Amino acid sequence: MEGRLQGILATLLRAKFSGDKAELLREANIELEVLRFQVRLAKDLGILAARSHGHAADVMHQVGSQIGGWAASRTGRQ
């Protein structure tokens, strides 16, 4: 999960400096969705406490909303 988080960060940084942000933002969104499933699985297996899962879910929702907003703002500029 840590590697996936670092990958999402790297993808978002590449998007920041890229001319073609749309594909990178899509990639980051997909990776975030996979991370959501991994975190949920960790909770279901008892590896992650329910409280920690709730916090992680909230943060992932916020990040997803920010990625979606960034992608939507790009649509009007292209």
Instruction: Give pLDDT tens digits for 14-42.
Output: 999 999 899 999 999 999 999 999 999 99
Each domain of the chain, given as residue ranges in start order, spans 2-75
The upper half-sphere exposure of residue 25, i.e. CA atoms within 13 Å in the direction of its Cβ, equals 20
5: tokens are 């988080």
Rg of the Cα atoms in the chain:
14
Of the candidates 62, 44, 65, the one whose C-alpha atom is nearest the C-alpha of residue 53 is 44
Place of tokens 């329910």: 50
Which pLDDT score, from 0 to 100, does residue 77 have? 58
Q: What digits encode the pLDDT tens for the residues 35-76?
A: 999 999 999 999 999 999 999 999 999 999 999 999 999 776
| DSSP structure class, residue 45 | T
Rounded Cα distance between 24 and 15, Å, is 6
Q: What pTM did the predictor assign? A: 0.88
